[in-house]
Amino acid sequence: MIYRKKKDLEITPIDRCMGGNGTVRMEKLLMGQEEMLGKGRAYVRHTLNPGVSIGIHTHEGEMETMVIVKGKALHTINGQEQYLEEGDIIAAQPGDTHGIAQTGEDALVLIAQVLYA
């Protein structure tokens, strides 16, 4: 069993994440491959304050899901724009190119999981 309290999670700042703007605050919820049974590489909570984005990037041999926990976002996937809000879910499949930007007044909080294809 894995058990962690929010207060014990370490916040890692990522400047210009994937070429985006500002600094993404990342909290690792699971510690990569070893805690994901070799099926993925990331299970994280990202916080993007106003003006912060994760740049456009491509997933090769993996997929990424995101759940919007709080705030609003503009998600661009394969050239198409989608406006997301609390409770919305996206899944970028292998070969998809995407990025996400915080919109609105409040910070964007999302849970992201990257699984191997």
What tens digit of pLDDT does each residue of 45-64 get? 999 999 999 999 999 999 99
> What ranges make up the beta strands (E) of 49-107?
53-58, 62-70, 72-77, 80-85, 89-92, 97-103
> Tell me, what's the pLDDT at 56?
98
Global pTM value: 0.95
* Domains in the chain with CATH codes: 11-72+79-116 (2.60.120.10)
Place of tokens 């962690």: 4
- What is the number of other CB atoms lying within 10 angstroms of the CB of residue 108? 28
pLDDT tens digit string along 3-61? 999 999 999 999 999 999 999 999 999 999 999 999 999 999 999 999 999 999 999 99
> Tell me, what's the pLDDT at 18?
97
HSE of 19, CA atoms in CB hemisphere, 13 A:
6
> Tell me, what's the pLDDT at 91?
97
Residue type, position 48, single letter:
L
pLDDT tens digit string along 56-101? 999 999 999 999 999 999 999 999 999 999 999 999 999 999 999 9
